[in-house]
Amino acid sequence: MLLIAFGAAPPALAQAGREPQAEQFVQTAAQKVIAVLADRGLSIAQKKATFHQAINELADVPKVTNFVLGKYARTVTPAQRQQFATAFRTYAEGVYQSRIDDYRGEKLTVTGSVVRKPGDVVVNTTISGGQLDRPVVVAWRVQGAGGSWKVVDVQFKGVWLAITQQQDFVSTIDNAGGDVGVLIAQLQRDAQRPAAGVARN
């Protein structure tokens, strides 16, 4: 399934205002992800499957996968691209599922949004309650139009996760002399590691 950029949207007047549909999307989809992880009734396998599905609904996975390769997205072979997509997905799900696993019962509240350009919106939210003593401010960069939006990046304390991931991966490929295969192998190795909280200290 191809996911083409939002070029299909009609050209709109440049606005610096809010985008309520994007806000609504983040409120629903992101809250769902948090709820999945907070659900103690699910087995580990069930949680993984539900989390996988929730991420598909929340994020534009192909676009993000393409983005994190940086300049190498243009030169990677189709076979490597497919390998990388699988390795990256498994790696990212493992990493983020274990990180968000610490959060229980938190609530996500949309506080506003900024239209950067038509089809490119940053939705601002706070996550509070549960184990947090202070509300955490999280920004979501969503792209799309009308009722159809997808998350492409998340900002926490000023740091964009996809941008940081891109810098990480591009540096690894640079150090390997441009060989994307080295990065793929490392991601596959990292995905094999036992879950956080057990072996990691």
Partner 1 sequence: MTTARYEGFACRRRRLAVAGLAAASAILAAPPGALAQPDSPAAAPANGELPPADLAATPYDPWRGANQQLFAFSMGLDRGLIAPVAHGYRRVTPQPIRNRVSAVVENLGEPGTAINHLAQGHPRRAGKATARFLINSTVGLLGMFDVATGMKLPPRDADFGQTLGRYGAQPGPYIYIPIVGPSNVRDGLGMIVDIITDPVSLVTGGVSTTLGATRFAATTVDSRLRADGAFKALKDATDPYATTRSAYTQRRAFVVRGASGEPDVLPDFEPVPAEPPAEPSPVPH
In the bound complex, what is the minimum distance in angstroms from residue 36's beta carbon to partner 1?
20
Nearer to partner 1 among residue 42 and residue 126 (C-beta):
126
Q: Can you give the binding site for partner 1, defined by CB under 8 A? A: 2-5, 7, 60, 62-64, 66-67, 73, 78, 95, 99, 116, 133-134, 141, 143, 152-153, 157-160, 163-164, 166-172, 175, 183, 186-187, 190, 196, 200-201
Comparison of 10 and 78: residue with beta carbon closer to partner 1? 78
Q: Between 46 and 195, name the residue whose CB sits nearer to partner 1.
A: 195
Considering Cα of 143, then 144, then 145, then 148, what sign does the dihedral take? negative
Q: Which residue has the tokens 């009609």?
A: 10
**Rounded Cα gap, residues 99 and 159, in angstroms:** 16
Kindly provide the b/e burial profile for residues 46-77, where b requires at least 16 CB atoms within 10 angstroms of the residue's own CB. Answer: ebeebbeebbeebbbbebbbbbbbbebbeebe
Our measurement of the distance from residue 200's CA atom to the centroid of its chain's CA atoms, rounded to an integer in Å, reads 23
Min dist CB 41 to partner 1, Å, is 27
- Kindly state the smallest distance separating residue 191's Cβ from partner 1, in Å: 10
